[in-house]
Amino acid sequence: MVALTINGKSHNIDVDPSTPLLWVIREQAGLTGTKYGCGIAQCGACTVHIDGVATRSCSLPVSDAAGKKITTIEGLAQDGKLTKVQQAWIEHDVPQCGYCQCGMVMAVSALLAEKPKPTDKDIDEAVTNICRCGTFQQVRAAIHAAANA
Amino acid sequence: MNFVPKMNRRSFVVSSAAAGGGLALGLNLPFGGPDVVRAADGSPEINAWVVIRPDDTVVIRIARTEMGQGSLTGLAQMVAEELQCDWNKVTTEYPTPGQSVARKRVWGDFGTGGSRGIRMSHEYVRKGGASAREMLIQAAANEWKVPASECGAANSVITHKASGRTTTYGKVAEAAAKLEPPKDVALKDPKDWTIIGKPLKRLDTADKVTGTMKYGMDVQLPGMLCAAVKDCPVFGGKVKSFDAAKVASMKGVKKVLQVNDSTVAVVADTWWQAKSALDALPIVWDNGPNEKVSSASIAEILKAGLDANDAFVGNANGDAKAAIGSGAKKVEAVYSYPYQNHACMEPMNATVLYTADKCEVWTGTQNGEGAFAATLEASGLPANKCDVYKMICGGGFGRRGRNDYVTQAVLIAKQMPGTPIKTIWSREEDMLHGSYHPVMQAKLTGAFDKDNNLTGLHVRLSGQSILAYVFPQNLDKGKDPLTFQGLMPQGTEHAFGYSVPNLMIDHAMHNPHVPPGFWRGVNINQNAIFLECFMDELAQAAGQDELEFRRKLMAKHPRNLAVLNAVAEKIGWGKPAPNGVFRGLAHMMAFNSFVAAAAEVSVTNGNKIKVHRIVAATDPGYAVNPAQIERQVAGSFVYGLSGLFYQEITIKDGRVEQENFDTYNSMRIAEMPKVESIIMPAGGNIWGGVGEPTICVAAPAVLNAFFKATGKRIRSFPLKNHDIFMA
């Protein structure tokens, strides 16, 4: 049994403790906004926040997340109100296929929590997610818009 | 001539049979009839394309696949334009291939590749909207007992001008659905468009930022199990044996099974359990006849083709051989382009519920009817007992046009009837079993007269044919016309953009065992590098400005010239660049669109390229949604430049060596150049594509700028093999 707190909700999950957090979020908790892209922490599609830190959940054993505060894309909006980042994403029509975008939004949300007015260099260093559709131009514009909202 | 690949023969036959021989793509105009057809929620169909709910919501049916390229929104815009409905009340849904077949292919082609989603369906979807509008107006006129000609519609409201009476689409939809559709409808003059041509936001964004969009990967069914698969890593190999007992007791494992000759699967409660058991499963492979093939051995075969006597002629005029033989100056260069994988963000997957009586599939596919045909064949059930529910795709780029993963998933589910099973490929499986961008080499030879006029050009391609593998029935007496994308004769959708007095473009076909497939742009990518880098080489050999040299050969290619001039002007060609910044150009015609790019780069230490800026011009004839076109242009550059700098699939011992993004890299935001798009639709009778054409011009523009910066001409790719990287 692993005790997890995901988006403020407690889960006691019967799972092999070495299972990557990503798959527990998707398969046991049933939250499918967090995506599988590579399984080796390269692409960032699986990014969640663990105690506020952007973390690639595909490469973290679930046991390491026990007792910590896990936030997934589904937990960003509060009472149905989207965050500034999500609103900026809609305003700038950022996603194309969208598969990587939840991870992108999570990475950016963590960046803005740490650096509310990031420079382009800050963005380049913090947002290393892969997007095969190539939405980066809109991603950058939306980050600045969210920072200034 | 139209070189868009036809539906594969098998699915054609299946569909024809299922439609009772009534298959007539584009001939059976897909309009309604006196019997009201109802959507799942009971709302009436006005016709196959338009459902109107009582609350005035307009549901527009989209047969083509949305995989990020934005066609779902663009197609809806085209229906809505003619329907004259309130855009804010528009929503969309996918019809299923099974429904389409049952209704004599009322939605036409589902295939979404070759940049054809919009350009190949614009007329009939607009007619669908126009016909529905006429029926709705007629229904209101009938109610008011006035001639329809006295009524008009705008924003989903119908007005009788003389009396000022109004009603809404939702109120008359039931009556309209019972009317005979008009025999013919006139389409609006493009100058009157108010929805087509506008930079409207996509219709599918909100769910993509909250995690609620459901991709194939996210399908959940009651009682569902998950499967992980392993196909023999060596193409052409088979399963010899596997020791199921070794993993049968692992937690969650339900079944270990052989899927087909070459594939083994583990089915478990969760995918992670299935994958863990599969990784632990001892499998013995029979590697078959290809286990000694390597990238080097493939390259040797292609190299021989550069000078082979036999080759398929793709485009020729005059006598190139004689002109080259008698030229005052000759320039020759050999280029090569590697295998590349699509690496869609969402690995291949399909969920299947098979019972003795029915087979249902949920999957992201670019070829809904192909997936349907694959389902019929793998399940052994007839068309009226199968269906495919298309999911939004997490990328496609051509990979999801091949439905091998659907076949596998059905074969797995068939061994566990009554249990829904989601089959997911690991990223490693996705890398090892792609439909790869084919490998190609080229030898280009140009000749000048004593006055430095280009008198002859020979482009010899040597490499792999996609059609020979995917649609051999579409070969033209053995020739694969698609190999010549961007180099074809005038009047085709991939026409060569220069006039050269003596020209020969030919292809020595060599087909290694590695399965090739369509890959965003596919052959325009390497053909643009070959041609447009060589054009710079020729200009430089003749001591001429690269733009002026091209212009002299483009007098008969005004739309190529227009896009080239547009980027040259905007980048400031001929004017001083910022200190340390160098420029390069390229252009191409592909999928009936004309595209050009001008890049600005700087280079540090001779090997770190910073691409600062790319100006891109696109003339697709008609620009349905300029905002989405801009995104396709910039996005295609990410895909194309990732290929140029980083991506190569290499073969060792008959199998792919790269298994994940650590050895198959993709550009990140830090490397993204500023992309400035010029969208300059010229109109006319022919609509061009958007998803693919621009991809091909970024690479040669950057390479030409790199040469200007360093004097180094790179002719084999990716650039990482030359220790050249993106800054």
Same domain for A114 and A137, yes or no, is: yes
Closest to B437 measured CA to CA, from B217, B597, B642, B704? B642
Whether residue B431 is contained in a domain is answered as: no
Q: What is the pLDDT of residue B34?
A: 54
Same domain for A64 and A91, yes or no, is: no
Measured in whole angstroms, the distance separating CA B520 from the mean position of its chain's CA atoms is: 5
Same domain for B380 and B498, yes or no, is: no
Same domain for A91 and A67, yes or no, is: no
Pairing of strands B608-619, B725-726: parallel
Q: CB count, 10 Å around CB of B191? A: 7
Domain count, chain B: 3
Same domain for A127 and A69, yes or no, is: no
The residues, ordered by sequence, that sit 6+ positions from B701 with a Cβ below 8 Å of its Cβ are: B532, B584, B585, B586, B597, B598, B599, B614
Domain count, chain A: 2
Same domain for B279 and B319, yes or no, is: no
- Single residue among B156, B184, B207 that ends a domain in this structure: B207
Same domain for A55 and A90, yes or no, is: no
Please give the residue of chain B at the shortest CA–CA distance from A36.
B346
Query: Which CATH number covers residue B703?
Result: 3.30.365.10
Domain of residue A88 covers 84-147
Q: What is the pLDDT of residue B35?
A: 76
Q: Are B597 and B586 in contact (CB under 8 A)?
A: yes
- Single residue among A53, A75, A97 that ends a domain in this structure: A75
Q: Which of B210, B391, B612, B615 should be substituted to probe chain A, the one whose Cβ sees the most A Cβ atoms within 10 Å? A: B210
Can you tell me the mean pLDDT for A86-110?
98
- Contact of B226 with chain A, judged by CB distance below 8 Å, is answered with yes
Same domain for A7 and A35, yes or no, is: yes
> CA torsion sign, B93 to B99 to B101 to B103?
negative
Phi and psi at residue B716, in whole multiples of 5°?
-135, 155
DSSP class of residue B217 equals: G
Same domain for B501 and B608, yes or no, is: yes
Q: Mean pLDDT for each consecutive 10-residue tract of chain B (727 residues)? A: 33 32 33 73 96 98 97 98 98 97 96 95 97 98 98 98 97 97 96 98 97 98 98 98 98 98 98 98 98 98 97 98 98 98 98 96 98 98 98 98 98 98 98 98 98 98 97 96 98 97 98 98 98 98 98 98 98 97 98 98 97 98 98 98 98 98 98 98 96 97 98 98 97
Distance from CA of B267 to the nearest CA of A (A): 14
Please give the residue of chain B at the shortest CA–CA distance from A28.
B270
Whether residue B2 is contained in a domain is answered as: no
ipTM exceeding 0.90?
yes
3-state secondary structure B539-574: HHHCCCCHHHHHHHCCCCCHHHHHHHHHHHHHHCCC
Same domain for A6 and A67, yes or no, is: yes
Same domain for B329 and B368, yes or no, is: no
**SS3 of residue B635 by DSSP:** helix
Closest to B335 measured CA to CA, from B306, B300, B314? B306
Q: How confident is the model at residue A21 (pLDDT cuts 50, 70, 90)?
A: very high
Please give the residue of chain A at the shortest CA–CA distance from B207.
A98
Q: Are B383 and B101 in contact (CB under 8 A)?
A: yes
- Closest Cβ opposite residue A23 in set B208, B270, B346: B270
Can you tell me the mean pLDDT for A33-62?
98
If you write DSSP's letter for every residue of B676-693 in order, what string do you get?
EEEE----SS-PPP-TTT
DSSP class of residue A26 equals: I
Same domain for B404 and B481, yes or no, is: no
Same domain for B283 and B334, yes or no, is: no
Query: Which CATH number covers residue A30?
Result: 3.10.20.30
- Single residue among B207, B230, B262 that ends a domain in this structure: B207
Whether residue B559 is contained in a domain is answered as: yes
Query: Which CATH number covers residue A88?
Result: 1.10.150.120
| Cis peptide leading into residue A20 (ω within 30°) | no
Q: Which of A24, A31, A99 should be substituted to probe chain B, the one whose Cβ sees the most B Cβ atoms within 10 Å? A: A99
Same domain for B333 and B374, yes or no, is: no
Same domain for A65 and A14, yes or no, is: yes
Phi and psi at residue B37, in whole multiples of 5°?
-100, 140
DSSP class of residue A43 equals: S
Give the span between the Cα atoms of A68 and A49, in whole angstroms: 10
Q: How far is CA A93 from CA A90, B211, B274, B706, in A?
A: 5, 16, 37, 33
Q: Are A130 and A48 in contact (CB under 8 A)?
A: no
- How many helices, marked H, and strands, marked E, lie in chain B? 17, 28
The residues, ordered by sequence, that sit 6+ positions from B674 with a Cβ below 8 Å of its Cβ are: A137, B612, B613, B614
Phi and psi at residue B320, in whole multiples of 5°?
-65, -40
Q: Are A83 and A75 in contact (CB under 8 A)?
A: no
- Single residue among A30, A46, A75 that ends a domain in this structure: A75
Distance from CA of B659 to the nearest CA of A (A): 10
Measured in whole angstroms, the distance separating CA B703 from the mean position of its chain's CA atoms is: 24
Chain A contact set for B666 (CB, 8 A): 43, 130, 132
The residues, ordered by sequence, that sit 6+ positions from B658 with a Cβ below 8 Å of its Cβ are: B341, B431, B648, B649, B650, B664
Phi and psi at residue B157, in whole multiples of 5°?
-115, 130
Please give the residue of chain B at the shortest CA–CA distance from A34.
B211
Same domain for B114 and B253, yes or no, is: no
Q: Are B217 and A36 in contact (CB under 8 A)?
A: yes
Give the span between the Cα atoms of B454 and B475, in whole angstroms: 32
- Closest Cβ opposite residue B68 in set A39, A89, A97: A97
The residues, ordered by sequence, that sit 6+ positions from B382 with a Cβ below 8 Å of its Cβ are: B18, B376
Same domain for A12 and A54, yes or no, is: yes
Same domain for B320 and B396, yes or no, is: no
Structure tokens at B422: 């989601």
Q: Are B542 and B528 in contact (CB under 8 A)?
A: no
Same domain for A67 and A122, yes or no, is: no
Q: What is the pLDDT of residue B4?
A: 33
Same domain for A69 and A113, yes or no, is: no
Give the span between the Cα atoms of B128 and B47, in whole angstroms: 7
Alpha helices in B487-625 (DSSP H): 523-541, 546-552, 558-571
Whether residue B245 is contained in a domain is answered as: yes
Structure tokens at B551: 């212009």
10 Å CB burial of residue B197 (0-12, 13-18, 19+) is middle
Phi and psi at residue B504, in whole multiples of 5°?
-140, 120
Phi and psi at residue B89, in whole multiples of 5°?
-105, 10
Whether residue B355 is contained in a domain is answered as: yes
Q: Are A51 and A38 in contact (CB under 8 A)?
A: no
Query: Order of strands across the sheet with A2-6?
Result: A9-13, A2-6, A69-71, A47-50, A53-56
Domain of residue B105 covers 9-207
DSSP class of residue B234 equals: B
Residues forming a β-bridge with B649: B339
Q: Which of B66, B209, B278 should be substituted to probe chain A, the one whose Cβ sees the most A Cβ atoms within 10 Å? A: B209
Same domain for B305 and B186, yes or no, is: no
Same domain for A113 and A48, yes or no, is: no
Please give the residue of chain A at the shortest CA–CA distance from B202.
A93
Q: Are B619 and B562 in contact (CB under 8 A)?
A: yes
Residue whose tokens read 């000609």: B149
- Single residue among B424, B445, B475 that ends a domain in this structure: B424
Same domain for B222 and B330, yes or no, is: no
Same domain for B497 and B452, yes or no, is: yes
- Closest Cβ opposite residue A27 in set B212, B271, B342: B271
Structure tokens at B477: 């007496």
Q: Are B494 and B590 in contact (CB under 8 A)?
A: yes
Tell if the CB–CB gap between B346 and A99 is shorter than 8 Å: yes
Q: What is the pLDDT of residue A40?
A: 98
Amino acid making up residue B264 = V
- Contact of B210 with chain A, judged by CB distance below 8 Å, is answered with yes
Distance from CA of A133 to the nearest CA of B (A): 5
Give the span between the Cα atoms of A35 and A15, in whole angstroms: 19
* Interfacial B residues in 263-302 facing A (CB < 8 Å): 270-273, 276
- Single residue among A48, A75, A102 that ends a domain in this structure: A75
